[in-house]
Amino acid sequence: MASIKMRAKASDGVTTIKVLISHPMETGTRKDKKTGKKIPAHFIQEVVSEHKGNTIMTAQWGPAISKNPYLSFRFKGGNAGDTVKLSWADNTGKSDSAEVTIK
């Protein structure tokens, strides 16, 4: 199952990207209520977005970001029909990426 849901819309020369990422985002400080043991840290460390081979946004995240994070950002230079790519990598070595066509 894809972990990234993304939309991109251009208006007046500015493209707005809206992203929802499915991820547990565990801090490593919570305890399992049944076992009493700490739940291991599992969080996204880096999110990168690209347009036409150029990086348009990089975010360095940590354990303070909420579960299933929502991200929205804007950039200039995107046109309807262009493709925007977004990828993430977490502290356990897992990653995912997705592409969307600007509308």
Give 64-77 pLDDT, tens digit per residue.
999 999 999 999 99
Tell me: pLDDT of 25 over 70. yes
User: Does CATH number 2.60.40.10 belong to domain 4-101?
Assistant: yes
Which is it for the CA torsion 58, 64, 70, 74, positive or negative? negative
Mean pLDDT of the chain: 95
* For residues 10-35, average pLDDT: 95
Burial 41-71 (b: 16+ CB within 10 A, else e): bbbbbebebbbeeeebbeeebeeebeeebeb
Q: Which strand (E) or helix (H) includes residue 47?
A: strand 44-51
Size (the chain), residues? 103
Token pair of 1 as six digits: 């199952």
Instruction: Report pLDDT for 24.
Output: 95
Give 45-97 pLDDT, tens digit per residue.
999 999 999 999 999 999 999 999 999 999 999 999 999 999 999 999 999 99
Give the residue from 81, 76, 88 showing the smallest Cα distance to 23.
88
- The verdict on pTM exceeding 0.75 is yes
